[in-house]
Every structure is written in structure tokens, then in C-alpha cells.
A and B are shown apart, each in its own frame.
Chain A
Amino acid sequence: MPDIRSRVSEAEWEARVNLAAVFRLAARHDLSDLALTHFSARVPDEPDRFLLNPYGLMFEEITASSLVKTDRDGGDPLETGSPLNAVGIMLHSAVLDARPDVACTAHTHTAPGMAIASLDTELLPISQTAMAFHGRVGYHDWESCETDLDERGRLARDIGPGGRALVLKNHGLLAAGPSIPMTWVLLYELERACASQLDAMAAAHAAGTGLDMPPAAVCEKTARQFDEFLAAPARDNDWPAYLEMLDRDDPGYRE
């Protein structure tokens, strides 16, 4: 492994360590799909470039150095030669280009996420967890297994100016946050909201009841409270606790 740390800025190295930690957290929570999905983080001092996981590496093996710096065209300025997933470059650059306020994006193929994406129903604000995304989640129709760079414009349209998540219909989920730690939190809560909604819908269907839906004004008020939380500097204060948990088990992600 070439010495990446000596070739990048302190800010980039910190982003690398934090993004590698998000992969390890996702692996711990069973949010991976073997080596098939991808997360990105904008390089703090090179805003047109972002970090992406090399294609073929399980999340448990991802390290700060193994992340690949690239751009919307799939460039490799550090000349690592690591393979990248073409869909990953297209998907993440679409969101990062459209949304300068987004620092990090995470895409999953979990069964609950794909199940919500397979329903002709939206993510419902039936819990405080789900209300974090009320009016802040976009829906992007399935297009093709093949990479079409024009899809970037449609992804930008679908996440909109204020979205923090996308339901990729018939495909999976994407979380987009203002920081790397907050993207982890949004991904985790988005996954939980999907799983809870599936349980609640199945129970309601079997019991012949409906879902208990709070008034629209309460849902919007709650979403605004999350807007404020996500904009506050203190939002990332618990991140060292996650890193400490990972370090106790395996600090290899820092390499």
C-alpha cells in the first residue's frame, strides 16, 4: 500500500479516517451488500473531488488509505489504480455536485431499504425517526443497470435543494448529510424508519387496522426541529464515541 497519508492534507486524512469508520459501522450493523454498494465523502480542501471505496473490497476491510480520491469523471489523481464502481461515481457525484452543503453520501441495498423502494408507497411519517425525513426525502425512479451519465441531472432534481435522503425506487437507499458523522446517523435512522414502517404496515395489514398518522403540522414541525439539529455545530459531538467503540474492536480502519 503506497503511503497515502504523506501525500494528502490533514483535512483529507481526517475525512478518510471518518469515512472508513462509517464503512466499519455499516458492516457492524449489517448494512452491506457484500462488496457492492458505495459511500462517498467530499475532500474538504478539494471540493470537486470525493473519496469512494475501491470496488471489490468488503466494508470490514476498508481503511483510510484504501479509499480512492476521484472526481465526477472517475479520475485518480493519486494514481492508485484501484478499481471504482461506475454507478458509484455517477450516483455520488450527482448528489455532491448538486448540493454543496452535502459532505457525504451513503448508498445501501439492505432488504428493508429495497423493500420500501419496491412499494408503491412513500416513507411514511409514522414515527419520530421517520419524521426526520418528512418532506426531505426524494424518490428517484429506476432507470437501468447500465450507467447513464445523464441520470445525474435527474438524481439532482429528485433529491432537490433540501433533501437528505433518496429512495432509489426498485433499488435501494441513499443518505446525504452535512458531515460524515451525520451521514452515518441519517443512514442508520433511515434504515430504521424503513424497517419499522414495514413491520407496522404488515401488522396493520394483518390486523385490518390502519396506521396511526400524526397531523401534518406535527410532522413538519418535527422535520424542522431536525433541520435545526443538523445545522448545529454540536451535532457531531458524539462521533468520538463511535470511533472509540471501533478502536476497541479493530483500529485497522485508521491505517
Chain B
Amino acid sequence: MPDSHAADYSMQDRVSPGEWAVRVDLAALYRLCARHGMTDLTYTHLSARAPGGEDAFLLNPYGLLFDQVTASNLVKVDTEGNLLGENRYGVNAAGFTIHSAVHMARPDLACVAHTHTRTGIALAALPQGLRPLNQKAMQFHGRLAYHDYEGIAFDLDERERLIADMGDADAMVLRNHGFLVGGRSIREAWARLYDLEKAARTQMLAEATGAPLAVLSEAFLDEQENRPRANRSYNPHDGWESQLRLLDRADPSYRH
């Protein structure tokens, strides 16, 4: 069992300032998912592209819970999940293949987040998928990809199908499995992941009633010309800095 609180072991002076900044944000993302109940024990990954143009990615070390992840204990791997550089932890390479496929196909995405939440798994089991029932869900209207389940192991063939299914979407329902979202930054991926989760939760509550839904027409949704921009734009007022200060107050160890 790796020691997640080895205070003497810091990567800060061993990596570039740019990589360190990505590490701090990615560790914060793990802690935010933990705070919001979006974890599945030690499973699932949140990954970020390391800066500098090389095909190198940061993700959680194998065996740690999300609220034990720190900037220094994140591991750096290549596209096949092989460890790069210095670190003292192992990596769950099998779980990384899905991330690697997305990172390779979508160089515009700096971060890929995959979850197995109660709500996400439930929505992934519904043939109707996510409905554009409300403001949260509308940003995904016509922009949410779906990928059919094929089993745990991702062979090379499935990677190609997964990428084809995702296309240029920034979020995907992995049917019978969970959610996957990307972002042009870590904070953008977090805002999208939070919204997708809440949109799905809202739909679960509404559909369970069996009552007619307040469905907006496709024509109305299509004429909302701001919709594509709303999905892609970075909101400087997304509260990311404020959320990090709240993490700092509760437990700043993610920064170490």
C-alpha cells in the first residue's frame, strides 16, 4: 500500500512549473469529485494531458482513494499506460486505455474524466438517454455521444469504435457503464461533469413520477443559437478558484 501522506516526497521541484500547475488542478479535481460523491472506491480515472507537447498524461496512482490523491502522487504515463519519469506508485493501466484513446483522438481536450456514479450508471441504462428537459441538460442537446457496452476489456477495435462514437462531442454516455466528459481545461471538464451529473439526476427524479414531461420542441431547442457556444465556452465565473479555497480550508493536502 503506497503511503499517500509522505510529506517529505514532493514532485514540485522535479517537474516543470507548467506540469506542477496541471498536477495541482488535477489533484483538486479528484478532491472535488470526492466531495460531491462522484467516486467509485479506487476505480475510474480522471486524467490530464501533461504540458509540453509530448504524449504524456497524468492520472491517479493505483490503490489510492480520490481524497488521498495529491499533486505529487499523480503518476505520469505514456499512451499505453507505461510509467514515465520518477514516481513511487503503480498505475492501473487497463483503466487508462479508454482515456488514452480519447486523448490521442482529441488533442483539443486537456482533461478526460470518467465516473461510475449511481445517477450516471442509471442514466446509462436508459434507452432514451439524456433528455433536454432543463437548462442543465440543454447544453448537451445534440452534443452528447453514446457508446454501446462491449465488456470490461477495451481491445484496439473497441477503442476505434469509442472514438468514432465520441466524434467531436465533449461528453459521452458509456451505455450500461457510466459517464465520460472532456474539457479544454481541468476546470471546464469539472463544470461539464457536474452539470451532466445534475442534469441526469434531475431527469431521474422527473421521469420516476410517470407524469408527462415539460418537453421543449426540437425546433425551439435548435433556434437557441447560443447553445453550441454555451457548451464550448469557458466561464471565468465558474467558481473554480472559490472551490479550491474551500478545499484548502478543509484539507490542503492535495497541493502537496
Contacts and interface: CB of A to CB of B under 8 A. Distances in A.
Interface of A: 33-36, 55-58, 60-61, 83, 85, 109, 111-112, 114-121, 142, 144-146, 169-172, 198, 201-202, 205-206
Contact of A146 (B133, B202, B206, B226): B226
Nearest to B243: A58
Nearest to A56: B237
A115 B202 contact: yes
A109 B137 CA distance: 12
Given A34-B239, A114-B136, A144-B226, A120 B211 contact: yes
Interface stretch (B8-16, B89-97, B212-220): B212-220
Nearest to A198: B205
Interface string B231-256: 00000111101110110000000000
A145 B226 contact: yes
Nearest to A34: B239
A119 B239 contact: no
Nearest to B223: A144
A120 to B, nearest CB: 4
B210 interface: yes
A57 B198 CA distance: 19
Given A118-B133, A119-B209, A205-B208, 6 more contacts: A56-B239, A58-B246, A83-B237, A118-B206, A144-B224, A206-B210
B236 A170 contact: no
Given A109-B198, A121-B211, A142-B216, A115 B205 contact: yes
A57 B236 CA distance: 11
Contacts of A202: 205, 208-210
Given A112-B205, A144-B226, A119 B237 contact: no
B147 interface: no
B227 A145 contact: yes
B135 interface: yes
Q: Which of B135, B224, B241 has the most CB of A within 10 A?
A: B135
Given A111-B198, A118-B133, A85 B237 contact: yes
Contact of B202 (A36, A85, A118): A118
B210 to A, nearest CB: 3
A212 to B, nearest CB: 16
Contact of B241 (A56, A170, A171, A205): A56
